[in-house]
Amino acid sequence: MASWQEQLRFDPLAPLLSAGNEALGYFARRDLLGEPAGPIQALWSLPGVQRILRKQLPNGAWPRPGVNQHPAINVELTEAWRQLRFLVEQYGLTREHPQVERACEFVFSCQSAAGDLRGMLANQYATYYTGAIMALLIQAGYEDDPRIEKGFHWLLGMRQEDGGWSIPLLTHKLDRTTQYRLTSEHAEPLEPDRAKPFSHNATGMVLRAFAVHPAWRQSEAALAAGRLLRGRFFQPDAYTSYHAAGYWLRFDYPFWWNHLVAALDSLSRMDFSRDDAQIGAALNWLVRHQRADGLWDVAYARAQERETGRSGEMRPWITLAICRLFHRWYGSGKS
């Protein structure tokens, strides 16, 4: 048994390999067992990929069902991010695939002159979305693209005084009507009140871009943000959006919002030790909460989410993400 498996209470490999999901099995063999799994392109013709690609628009985006009630919000950008998450994270597609390249170029077309990806919150700054989407672009093969470099420099310029990130709009005391107007119209973006504390939810999403980049993950700015993030495990956020501490324990994969597994995924790619007290406590929490079937649940804050609908399908993928954490920290001799 591999050293990373010895840290766990139950065997997670058996349910991953027997799940009947070809993509899941591929990544389990490649990333956890170190076995030759064949070319990643073998996954690109799977039915799940084709279902997503069939709906792609000529401009590279995807349509969103229903009527867009907020014309200033770029719903096509939202849908491009939503679908790229599955294509890149669950099927390993890169810019080598022409439709993924088209999707990524559509995303880049939403980059402002300043460097951020604009449109998710109308014309307001969306630091967290910019970072999370950049992470996918990097994983799709754009790590050396000057537009990615421009995005990193913009993110560095948007930090709070404490070194983390916020959602700039939320650093101001705005009534609900004003906030709704600013995110529904082409209003000038509000600069953050940099004296306000960082948001661990925003910081966790931004940090994904730094963590997946081979050079930027080693920057002092990224490491400082990582130290801030690990210091907020299991605590409420500084802002009202996703404020409750329970959001740390509501998992998803592919990652969308910040949570414990997503945050640890970033830190495990960076220069952080498993012997760090806060990281060790988080890993111990995961060990204690592994289920007897070898898998982890989607949500521990609300028990009724464990086995319902999409949650049941997501459990093996969350388990894969957690096993990758243990493999990085224990499987390669990294302390």
User: pLDDT tens across 120-146, in order?
Assistant: 999 999 999 999 999 999 999 999 999
Res 69 pLDDT > 70? no
- Whether residue 304 is predicted with pLDDT greater than 50 in this model: the reply is no
Q: How confident is the model at residue 272 (pLDDT cuts 50, 70, 90)?
A: very high
pLDDT of residue 235: 97
Residue pair 278/231 in contact (Cβ under 8 Å)? The answer is yes
Mean pLDDT along residues 87-95: 98
> How confident is residue 300, by pLDDT bands cut at 50, 70 and 90?
confident
Give Cα 21 to chain centroid, integer Å.
22
pLDDT band at 313 (very low <50, low <70, confident <90, very high): confident
Q: CA of 103: how far to CAs of 55, 137, 184, 309, in Å?
A: 12, 10, 25, 28
Rounded mean pLDDT of 202-219? 98
Predicted confidence band of residue 305 (pLDDT cuts 50, 70, 90): very low
Taking the whole predicted model, whether its pTM rises above 0.85 is answered as yes
Q: What is the mean pLDDT of residues 147-172?
A: 97
Q: What is the pLDDT of residue 144?
A: 98
Q: How confident is the model at residue 73 (pLDDT cuts 50, 70, 90)?
A: confident
* Residue 333 binned pLDDT confidence (cut-offs 50, 70, 90): very low
* Mean of pLDDT values over 64-72: 73
Mean pLDDT of 211-230: 98
Percent of the chain surpassing pLDDT 90: 85
- Measuring CA to CA, how many Å separate 334 from each of 160, 215, 257? 31, 19, 27
Share of the chain above pLDDT 70, in %: 94
Close Cβ partners of 211 (under 8 Å, ≥ 6 residues apart):
135, 217, 222, 265, 266, 267, 269, 270
**Residue 147: both structure tokens together:** 């537009």
What pLDDT, on the 0 to 100 scale, is given for residue 307?
47
